[in-house]
Structures are given as structure tokens and as C-alpha cells.
């Protein structure tokens, strides 16, 4: 895959400390680029599953997408503060890594940036690894930023 010099980067953002750290690292390594800051929400959370048992089911996908867009906007603000030109974007999908790969393909992303929760061993095996799934399926460079080290 040939990457254009002006191709945007795709930054995965969920408002976690790892995601905020990933933006800061990306700004140091990939400065002055256009960034699309993406948050992908699940269709329905466990708590929302119970809500669907009631007489009226709210439009959960739409609500979750709006929440994701709000988080992505926070991430885009942070990205701008770090020197990117940035725009927020949201999606609702399961698996979430699939939406990341689709958006990266759609925008012709030069790279995908995401933070890692630092899971290893059994925790990673049981919980799955979003970062590994993205890297395995992306077909483009993926910058997986590990958690910031605590300075002791």
C-alpha cells in the first residue's frame, strides 16, 4: 500500500489515560499532520441489555454513537492542542476493531495510532486485545503506544 505524504492519521480515542498518552506520543512522532480522532462504541452495553427488556426501548445505537462522538471531540481538542489539525468521528460497531479498519481504509490513513492497556498473559487471552486485532487486520502501519511509565 502506497501512503501519500498528506494522508491523515487515524487516532483511536476512548478518553482513557492510554488514549490521551497515545495522542501526545503521536504528536511527537508524526507532527503537523491531519488527524481523524475516532471513538467506536458498542451497539449495546450490558446495562443497556436490561433496558431493552422494558416496555419502551430507547434508540441505544444512536445514543451510544452520540456519546462516542462527544468523546472523540474531546480527543480532537487534545490532538489540536498537541499540534494536529483534527476532526472527531464516531462509529457504533462490533467488533470495534473492524470499524477502525474500515474507517482507516475509507480515509486512506497513513497510520493508525492507539493506546494499549498493557494487558498480558491470561488477562489478554480472556479479554482479547483490541490493539492486536487492529494491527493484524489493518494492512497499514499501526502505532501501539504502551501505557506511560510511572516515574518512581
In the predicted model, what is the mean pLDDT of residues 55-83?
Answer: 84
| Overall residue count recorded for the chain in this entry | 152
SS3 annotation, 53-93: CCCCCCCHHHHHHHHHHHHHHHHHHHHHHCCCEEEEEEEEC
Under DSSP, is residue 144 helix (H, G, I), strand (E, B) or coil?
A: strand
Q: What is the dihedral of CA 42, 47, 50, 56, to 10 degrees?
A: -70
Give Cα 29 to chain centroid, integer Å: 18
In the predicted model, what is the mean pLDDT of residues 122-145?
Answer: 79
pLDDT of residue 74: 97
pLDDT band at 124 (very low <50, low <70, confident <90, very high): very low
pTM higher than 0.85 = no
Under DSSP, is residue 19 helix (H, G, I), strand (E, B) or coil?
A: helix
Q: How far apart are CA 131 and CA 137, in angstroms?
A: 10
Tell how strand 34-41 and strand 85-92 pair up.
parallel
The answer to whether domain 9-145 has CATH 2.60.120.200 is no
Which residues, in sequence order, are bridge partners of residue 14? none
Q: Where are the domains of the chain?
A: 9-145
Flag whether pLDDT at 105 surpasses 70: yes
Residue with cell 470495534: 96
Amino acid at each position: 500500500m502506497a501512503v501519500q505524504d498528506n494522508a491523515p492519521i487515524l487516532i483511536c480515542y476512548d478518553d482513557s489515560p492510554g488514549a490521551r498518552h497515545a495522542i501526545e506520543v503521536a504528536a511527537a512522532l508524526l507532527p503537523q499532520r491531519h488527524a481523524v480522532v475516532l471513538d467506536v462504541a458498542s451497539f449495546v452495553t450490558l446495562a443497556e441489555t436490561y433496558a431493552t427488556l422494558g416496555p419502551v426501548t430507547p434508540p441505544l445505537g444512536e445514543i451510544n454513537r452520540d456519546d462516542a462522538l462527544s468523546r472523540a471531540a474531546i480527543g480532537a481538542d487534545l490532538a489540536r492542542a498537541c499540534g494536529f489539525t483534527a476532526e472527531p468521528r464516531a462509529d457504533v460497531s462490533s467488533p470495534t476493531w473492524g470499524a477502525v479498519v474500515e474507517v482507516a481504509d475509507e480515509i486512506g490513513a497513513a497510520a493508525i495510532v492507539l493506546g494499549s492497556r498493557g494487558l498480558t498473559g491470561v488477562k489478554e487471552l480472556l479479554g482479547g486485545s483490541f490493539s492486536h486485532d487492529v494491527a493484524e487486520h489493518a494492512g497499514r502501519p499501526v502505532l501501539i503506544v504502551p501505557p506511560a511509565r510511572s516515574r518512581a
